[in-house]
Amino acid sequence: MATRIPLPSGAMRKEPRQARSRATTDAILDAAAHILGERGWAGLTTNAVAEAAGASIGSLYQYFPNKLALIDAVRRRHFDDVLAVLHAAANLETPRASRIAALVDGMIAVHSRHPAAHRVLLEESPRGDDSRGVHDLFGAECKRGYEALFMANTSGMSDHVGIGARVLAGALAGAVHEAARQGALSSPALRQELITLVDTYLSAPRTEAKSRPFGEKSLRR
């Protein structure tokens, strides 16, 4: 594989300010996401990305110091999208149902662009050294977003905010990825079930009592 990491692998070699540069980097990122989804990590070669983007391999390295920085950038873009969805879903000025629908619709929309790429991106793929910073930063941001959403939509108080947010995040992402794998992202039934999933989970009665022994009774509402 090689994966030599000579440079500080910083985000980008040069910020693309010109319109042309911007178009090139976007094309590269799109190509990377596309190939990632289509052929998986094993099929994601820098040369393949460059070719699919209509650029030369040299140009690719003009914008991204190495392969890891490239996929980090793809990931960052995906995080941005997810973050935007989360912010919308945490907006208390809209009714609860709308917020949940916005969350579900947003997640579906986000994953509709490169259906298969995201799971590879999130679940696998090594993180660039820079990512240790950037990725964790965005990961934390996502966590905060989900926690805000969790608190905004949950009725009672709960000391499970951290865990609950992660469970929600994982569950929703998992269900969407699974649907993406089956090519069922656009099914109305999926939408409805996801809403049910999120709605019922967030509606579950919770108390502040720490580690209340779980028993048969607690399962019944």
Partner DNA sequence: AATGAATGAGAGTTCATTCAT
Partner DNA sequence: TATGAATGAACTCTCATTCAT
User: Do the beta carbons of residue 84 and residue 106 sit within 8 Å?
Assistant: yes
CA 51 from centre of chain: 26
Q: Which is nearer to DNA, 45 or 207 (CB)?
A: 45
Which string of x and - marks every residue 119-158 that binds a second copy (by CB under 8 A)? xx-xxxxx--------------------------------
Residue 13: name the closest of 130, 133, 127 by CA: 130
Using the rule CB under 8 A, is 76 a contact of a second copy? Answer: no
Residue 11 near which of a second copy, DNA, none (CB within 5-8 Å, type-dependent): none
Amino acid at 95: P
Among 32, 33, 179, 185, binds a second copy (CB under 8 A): 179
Residues found in the chain: 221
* Residue 209: CB minimum distance to a second copy, A: 11
CA dist 38 and 35 (Å) reads 5
Among 1, 7, 20, 109, binds a second copy (CB under 8 A): 1
Phi, psi of 6 (to 5 degrees): -80, -45
Say which residue the tokens 């070669």 belong to.
Answer: 45
Residue 208 near which of a second copy, DNA, none (CB within 5-8 Å, type-dependent): none
- Contacts with DNA by CB under 7 A lie at 1-7, 14, 18, 20-21, 24, 42, 44-47, 55-59, 61-62, 65-68
